[in-house]
């Protein structure tokens, strides 16, 4: 499961594992944490990585920094204090405020600097002996011309895995995937590859499997948020023929929602913040239901918990879950 800020915190990860995951998600990635000068984690970061909140899932902490020394002390603390032995470097975030600081996908501007970063990380004896390091990357900043050089850097190090989102930074989450670039990665990577990007439906998954039969690991974010039951298709022995029980999936989606709602309202004071966080889920889930425009509008308009809960109950009583062949998210990214 991909890291999605504001969505896939421990409340969602645990609820998903209990309802749909059931051991079939190999790894859950936390939304990134950013090392700071105090060399301490923020309260919300501590809450998300707390072992008590992650005891039922294999969780990988994602770290965003362009300073090797900060990555190293963060990895050491995560290992020694919280028991994490696998850390992921975020080299893909397209946010303007992130990229302007040469973090996230901004790291891809300068392959020599990226090389120095990874060299320093893997030169650290503690890292080599105790920490598995993976990278989640894009294929460039404005174009993919430098992707062969980026891949050359990654090939120089023993990454646990290389998760490739085949878009450039300026694509954000729009435009078509650069599948020719991902084919280059498949043909040239010395590290295990994971494909991330635009697997929202059974059709998307089967097309990727056919195009890249060598790839056996996929990372999904928006696809699983929108249609949590898609995991049943992805993990079936015959995903093309697997017949879904959409009524059962709908009931589980309500259970998933209620578990997340209960966990978030327990830690978020007041109605406004908690409702806002819950509405983020609906920006995706609404796409897999029919005849629900009125009910979705009521959910989005709600400002108080009582109104929100009532609108959600009406929605799940009336809306019909469907399996789409294609989903195009209209939310602006």
Residues within the annotated binding site for FMN? Answer: 62, 136, 165, 221-222
Q: For the chain, how many helices (H) and strands (E)? A: 15, 9
Between CA 25 and CA 23 the distance in angstroms is 6
Q: Strand 86-91 and strand 28-29: pairing?
A: unpaired
CA distances from 223 to 84, 170, 173, 258, 269 (A): 27, 21, 13, 20, 29
CA–centroid distance for 14 within its chain: 14
CA distances from 275 to 301, 306, 314, 316 (A): 10, 11, 17, 17
Please report how many Cα atoms fall inside a 13 Å half-sphere around the Cα of residue 313, on the Cβ side.
6
pLDDT of residue 332: 43
> Where are the domains positioned within the chain?
10-234, 246-321
Burial of 102 (0-12, 13-18, 19+ CB in 10 A): middle
Helix-helix angle 111-123:68-82, to 10 degrees = 40
Tokens of 83: 């028991």
pLDDT of residue 162: 98
From the list 33, 89, 93, 225, the catalytic residue is 93
Whether the model clears a pTM of 0.85, i.e. scores above it, the answer is yes
pLDDT of residue 51: 95
CATH value of 10-234 in 3.20.20.70, 1.20.1250.20, 1.10.260.40, 3.40.50.1110: 3.20.20.70
Q: How many CB atoms lie within 10 A of CB 123?
A: 11
Dihedral sign of CA atoms 174, 180, 206, 188 in order: negative
pLDDT averaged over 10-residue windows placed end to end, the chain, 333 residues: 96 98 98 90 94 96 98 97 97 96 97 98 98 98 97 98 97 95 98 98 98 98 98 97 97 98 89 89 96 93 94 96 94 45
Q: Which residues pair with 320 in a beta bridge?
A: 290
Instruction: Mark whether 93 is an active-site residue.
Output: yes
Interacting residues of 288 by C-beta distance below 8 A, sequence separation 6+: 226, 227, 321, 322, 323, 324, 327
Tokens of 288: 């897999």
């Amino acid at each position: 499961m991909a890291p999605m800020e504001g969505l896939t915190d421990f409340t969602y990860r645990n609820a998903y594992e209990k309802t749909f995951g059931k051991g079939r998600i190999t790894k859950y990635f936390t939304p990134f944490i950013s090392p700071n000068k105090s060399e301490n984690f923020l309260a919300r970061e501590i809450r998300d990585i707390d072992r008590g909140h992650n005891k039922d899932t294999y969780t990988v902490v994602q770290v965003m920094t362009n300073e090797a020394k900060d990555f190293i002390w963060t990895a050491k603390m995560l290992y020694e204090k919280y028991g994490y032995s696998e850390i992921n470097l975020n080299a893909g975030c397209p946010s303007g405020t992130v990229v302007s600081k040469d973090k996230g996908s901004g790291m891809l501007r300068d392959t020599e600097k990226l090389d120095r970063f990874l060299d320093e990380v893997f030169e650290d004896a503690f890292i080599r002996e105790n920490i598995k390091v993976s990278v989640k990357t894009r294929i460039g900043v404005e174009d993919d011309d430098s992707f062969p050089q980026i891949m050359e850097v990654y090939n120089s190090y023993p990454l646990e895995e290389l998760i490739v989102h085949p878009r450039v930074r300026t694509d954000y989450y729009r435009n078509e995937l650069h599948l020719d670039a991902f084919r280059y990665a498949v043909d040239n990577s010395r590290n295990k590859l994971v494909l991330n990007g635009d697997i929202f439906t059974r059709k998307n998954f089967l097309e990727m499997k056919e195009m890249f039969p060598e790839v056996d690991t996929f990372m999904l974010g928006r696809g699983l948020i929108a249609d949590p039951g898609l995991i049943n298709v992805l993990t079936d022995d015959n995903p093309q023929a697997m017949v879904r029980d959409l009524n059962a999936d709908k009931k589980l989606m309500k259970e998933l929602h209620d578990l997340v709602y209960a966990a978030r309202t327990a830690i978020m004071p007041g109605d406004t913040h908690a409702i806002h966080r819950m509405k983020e889920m609906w920006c995706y889930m609404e796409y897999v239901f029919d005849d629900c425009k009125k009910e979705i509008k009521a959910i989005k308009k709600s400002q108080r918990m009582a109104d929100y809960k009532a609108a959600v109950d009406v929605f799940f009583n009336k809306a019909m879950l469907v399996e789409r062949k294609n989903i195009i998210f209209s939310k602006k990214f």
